[in-house]
Structure formats: structure tokens, C-alpha cells
A and B are shown apart, each in its own frame.
Chain A
Amino acid sequence: MTGLLHQTLSGLATGGIYASLALALVMVYRATRQINFAQGEMATFSTYVALTLIQAGLPYWIAFAATLLFSFVMGVALERLLLRKLADHSGLGTVGVAIGLLLIFNALSGWLFGFTEKGFPSPFEGAGGGALLGGMLSRHEVGMTGVTLLVLGLVYCFFRFTRLGLAMRAAAANPDSSRLVGIRVGWTLALGWGLAAALGAVAGIMVAPIVFLDPNMMLGILLYAFAGALLGGADNPAGAVIGGFAVGVIENLGGAYLVGTDLKLTLALVIITVVLVLRPAGLFGRAVVARV
């Protein structure tokens, strides 16, 4: 029983990482109907930037904030300079550009920072180290969950209580009408990309102490985030967050009791396929009905 509780809690902790990345994916998808396959590699790149800043002697949280800012600007710049210029909106065009970015960021990470696995410092495992909650979770897992929840809460407040958040929701829901009431829809898309990149950076920085940092660090995590986003509903940010946590738990329990660790990625494939077969709109999404 303790084992089950332990697996569930640690599943929730990694689930937070999937939830952040899933939310980033949904943010882009809602606004542009585009699956950003490069989201994971962008996050890895941001994590390397954070590590470089920390190694340069900056205090952890200042490096953290600076990385978020850098990622935000990077996301905005990518949307403004690249994606909005793309004329070909077919699957080939949008997926192709995302894959191009994936390749570029992956190779840049390796090129600039090296291919060897690197350790990443955790701000939570200071002097009084040791596990918490009766040995269930490491200090880093608890701290990571806290940070993830805080960031998700901030994102929620931003969309719920600020005018800019409202404008972004409006632009995603109905771009034409939003334009008519004076919202600059193009900029809200760029803002969405920026926020998504920053969220990805949080996920990358938080998970790096656990999985170690290398250029392919986020590939598996991105897959779980896809599964989470789809499970919750590709159209529903809150759903994606819940889906992310759920996938974390499913992955951990499945890995421990069902398929073993060497088929964990297959589990993500199974979740994606099952959701598409049984409930393509996800648990909390609305089915898309086209008006003819």
C-alpha cells in the first residue's frame, strides 16, 4: 500500500512537468491549430541557458527569472519572424517548420553546450536535505511540484483576471470578432508563443535535476505532454493540466506494476491512441463540430 502511495505521489510530481509542457502545447494549439513539435527542444535549450547562467555565478532564482525572460522573447521572436510569415498552412508546412525548429534547437544545444549528460543543481536540496512526507518524496520533487503549481496558478490568474489574458482568450476563440473590437490578434499569437516557451523553460529547469541534462532530454517528456494534452482535451488548458498530472500517475503506476520501465514510452503511445479512439475531444474538451 505504501508502495502504491509512493508511486502515485512521485507520479504527481513528474506529472506537474508534463502538465506545464502540455499547457504550453495547448496554448499554441488553441490559437493557431498548430502542434509545436519543437516545444520540448526549445525547453531543453532554455534549460542549457539557465545552467550557463548559474555556472556564471548568478544566484539560482535570478538565473531562473532571466531564463524565463529569455525564453519568452525567443518564443515571441519565433512567432513574429518565422511562423506568421509561413504561407503554406497545410499539414506539410506547419509540421515541417515545427520539425525544422526541433532539429535546429536540438543541434544548437549539442553544438553550444556539448552532448554529454550534465547534472543540474536543485534549489531545494540545500543543507537540510533528506526526503519528506515520511520518505515518500525527495525535497526536489516537493519543491518542483510547488513551483509548478505556483506557475500554473499564475498562468490561470493571468488569463482569468487581466485584460490582456481576456484579449488572448478572445483572440483564440474568435479571431475575426476580436479584430473588430480592436484586439491585435497577431500579437496575441506571438504572446502565446512567448508564454508557451517560458512554461517549457520552467518544465525543463525543474525536471533537469531528476533526468540529467542532455540535448535529447525532453523527447520522452514531450511525448507524455502530448498524451496529457490529448487526454485532457487539446482545446482545454485546464484539461491539459489535469491530463498532464494524470499521465504522470498512469506512467508511474503502469511502469511499476504493469509494463515495467522498458515500455514506458509505449504507454504514452497507447494513451494517445486510446483517447483518439474513444474520446477524441479528450476528457474535458468539447467535440469540434463543423458548420456546413
Chain B
Amino acid sequence: MIGMPGLMRLLGIAALVACGFLFSGYHLFQLAQTAVYAVAIMGLVVVTGTTGQVSLGHGAFYAVGAYATAILMTNFGWPFWATLPVAGIACAALGFAVGLPALRLSGSYLALVTFALAVAVPQMLRAKALEQLTGGVQGIVVTAPDVPFGLPLSQDQYLYLVTLAVAVLMFAFAHNILRGRTWRAMVALRDQPLAAEAAGIDIARIKTRAFAISALFTGIAGALAAIIVQFVAPDSFQPQLSIALFVGLVVGGAGSLAGAVIGAAFVEFAPLLAEQVNKNAPGVFYGALLVAILFVMPGGVAGGFRRLIAGFQWRRHKPPSMLAKQQGGTAHAE
């Protein structure tokens, strides 16, 4: 039996697949890019949801995922699908290494370390020592996979559908993580760290594991980006990318996966709209909107919608509504 939400989801996916045949060229690329950003921002939802801290460096994982796929496909002739797990696992390992020192401390150290990562990674990719592998400043041109089995699709359509399929799978994966028992336990850890620590739970390890999973999401997003853009270079992964993903998280709403999708659409389309006003407007617009949302609508667009749907119950000074509900639930369980 498929319930109402399940039916809605199927309809949604069908509509997105249909988009692959309604749009073409640059518009289709934009949709694919939105799906990629959505997967990347899901990673951020996982970190912020489980650790209560934020990452300013997920652009670095995006870069590592993209380079992993580009290098394996171009230098080693791997098929695209085989590079996905490698990209994901490489990023998870990197996430674990970067997250552990920061997450065993309380405070905003994660934001600090990830910020440093975001600034340092483009320089590393440009470094002479790695030039053989990374192509240095020039980057790597990636040959996108051809349409298999003689399917009647254009290359753009095929890439869009592949991206969409991976994004839907990752969404389902994230959904299971966020609804699962472990995640609820993690939320309990986040909210009652002392009690958990007293019970002998290694909070740092669990938080770091969550961070590694979040890096995995963003790494896979990077791998997808490598084939839809068909080019990777250090300049594509400047710190601004990390910040754009973070803005997407806040605008969409850190409390839900739907927020990740909304945030991704924002990251892809908002700069284009703002640029029509003024070439320099995107930065000011991004910044002002970020500050405004944090003041007026801390749950982001998704949180705002949820409130609206919940009968205009405007509860002030509460974290995003999904988190609030689950916090309530876990507080009783303690």
C-alpha cells in the first residue's frame, strides 16, 4: 500500500523525470545542477541536524568528490558509476579526519576548521606537487559517459536522469538516516551531552561519524558535478562555493531535507536573478538575505512553510520545527 505521502513523492519524481523531456540545453543543465546542489546541501542538513554545529567547508568535499571522479575516469579509464562510491568514501574519510579534532570540543570549532579547509583546498588542488594527478591550474576535462544500450535519449537528457536518480537515492538514504533510531539518539546526544557522556557514550566519535556521512553526501554531489559540468579546476571550488552551500542550507531550512531542495534551487537560480539587477548585487543580496532569514525565519523557507501548514502557529524563538518535534520526543524518553 502506498499512502498519501508516498503517492506525492512518486508524483514528484515523475514530474522531475518529465522535466528531462520538457526542457533542453542550458535549462536542463540548470535542473541537473540543482539536483547536485540538493545532494550537497543534504550533507549539511545531516551535520547541523546531528551536531548542532555548522560546516563552512563542504565545498572542499564537493571538490574532492569531483576530482576523484575526474581522475579515475580520465587517468584510469573507470566507468562513471564505479567512481561514485570511491568519491563518497574518500570524502567520508577526509570528513572523519577533519571532523574528529573539532568535534571532540564544544564550541564553534567545526566552523573554524571547515572554513580553513574551504580556503586551503583550492590552493592544494593548484599545487605543483600534485599537478600530475590534478592537472594543476588547468584542471581536468572530463568526458561524460555516453548514453548506454542505444536508449533514445540525448546526452544532456541522460546526464540529467542519472543525476536525478542518484539524487533521489541519496534523498531516500538521508530520509532514512534522519528518521531512524540512530539519528534520534544522536539528537538526544546533541541536546543532553552531559547525560550521554555520563552514560559512557563517546559523543565525539558519534558526531564525527555523522560528519563523515555528511561529507559522503557532498562528495557524491561533487562526483555528479564532474560529469554534468565535464570539467574540474581549482577555480570552480573557491571558498565561495562552501559559503553558497551554507547560504542554501539557511535559506532552505536546516531542519529538513525539503529545505535542502529549496536551498539548492536558491543557490542555482538566485544569483542569476540578482545579477540582472546589478553585477555586484548577488553578494550583498546573499548576505542581507542570510541575515534577514536568521532573524525572521530561522527555520528557512521549509520551516516557514511547515509553520504555515501547521495552522499559522507562529512559535517564536524555536529551532526548526522538525527538530523541535523530535527534541520534544527524545526529551520524554530520557
Contacts and interface: CB of A to CB of B under 8 A. Distances in A.
A14 to B, nearest CB: 17
A87 to B, nearest CB: 5
Contact of B287 (A102, A263, A277): A102
A266 B124 contact: yes
Contact of A94 (B108, B110, B290): B108
B63 to A, nearest CB: 14
Contact of A269 (B120, B129, B295): B120
Interface residues of B, number: 53
A292 B194 CA distance: 8
B231 to A, nearest CB: 21
A177 interface: no
Interface in B116-152: 116-117, 119-120, 123-124, 126-129
A37 B56 contact: yes
Interface stretch (B6-14, B98-106, B155-163, B214-222): B98-106
Nearest to A25: B112
A95 B108 contact: yes
Contacts, number: 154
A78 to B, nearest CB: 11
Interface in A263-292: 263-266, 268-269, 272-273, 276-277, 280, 288, 290, 292
B77 to A, nearest CB: 29
A82 B120 contact: no
Contacts of B243: 99, 102-103
Nearest to B280: A111
A147 interface: no
A97 B294 contact: yes
A99 B284 CA distance: 12
Contacts of A96: 54, 246, 250, 290-291, 294
Contacts of A86: 294-295
A90 interface: yes
B283 A103 contact: yes
B239 A219 contact: yes
A107 B52 contact: no
Nearest to A98: B111
A281 to B, nearest CB: 10
Contacts of B196: none
B29 interface: no
Contacts of B128: 260, 262
A94 B298 CA distance: 12
B282 interface: yes
Given A91-B108, A99-B56, A273-B113, A268 B294 contact: no
A31 to B, nearest CB: 14
A280 B105 contact: yes
5 contacts: A92-B294, A96-B54, A96-B290, A100-B288, A110-B283
